[in-house]
Structure 1
């Protein structure tokens, strides 16, 4: 395939995603998933962390899909999005290492008088999870509540790994919107609730 045809096909794919076409988005995720994962892995040196970062990168691309119609080079755009999220993650972890030391994240950000508030957020999250259709609900619970990786979920549910990733991305999008509709939520709360592990 010559470069002009390849560029034309990708432009059509991006325009489809910009208009909300989920099939086009799935194709894009399948095409670039491994490349982004390996890029993240080269920095964080942990497969589970790299996988979570990769999920967050593609979530951001979907959430900001209206910008894709203006993108001339998707690979450059993807590199910038990936770089920014990876740098943000590394900076955050360095800050935590310096300031948190042996304190638990929950102990620092949720004082005793805030526990009820946190429990209410968990309740809202569970209500949102109950609204998810299968297999999206099971995938979310296995990933975010039980800490299982994509390969484990794929084998457990008998689904292709790309299908698991797609459902998880959509579940995270839905649940973050669900929480925002009920509550003004900080990123640190989203991290603790499992909707953002690294941002």
Structure 2
């Protein structure tokens, strides 16, 4: 994990390693020099992490962005030969990646909220509340073990993604995916069984 500190002064973000020093490192990295890449990472990741943390307001997300960006830099290292100002280049691609991550997270939250609202909207007349909650319990019981744990820790214990990830020894991204899949599965299960129940109920009333 990156050691991101919050008490950096804003003007520190404007300070960079000497330009010629960066250029030498970039040329070495472009040739596949892992030691040079490590030096480049050490020289810039701290200030970059602080900068991205201010954009995302999340240390975890800032760490992910910084790691993703440097991985991308290594994967496309040949292009570094054409970079004149690495500091500016690094901050631009990092900012763009951070904004894309925020947009993705926002969409996921909206989707999960819609699924939860759809699930709540399945509640039928008050006399059938017990049926709904019984189906909800059944749906949770039918989930794979890890998905079930993630769902219960999130919905019942109200833990955050990071807390669940730490407790279950999973990545934060895996927790998000498990929660999304579990929510969809539960909603589909309850909806399907309620539909069957209503069909039977209508049939009985017609007799």
| TM-score under structure 2 length normalisation | 0.47
| TM-score under structure 1 length normalisation | 0.49
Bigger-Rg structure (1/2): 2
Q: Which has the higher contact order (CA 8 A, sep 6+)?
A: 1
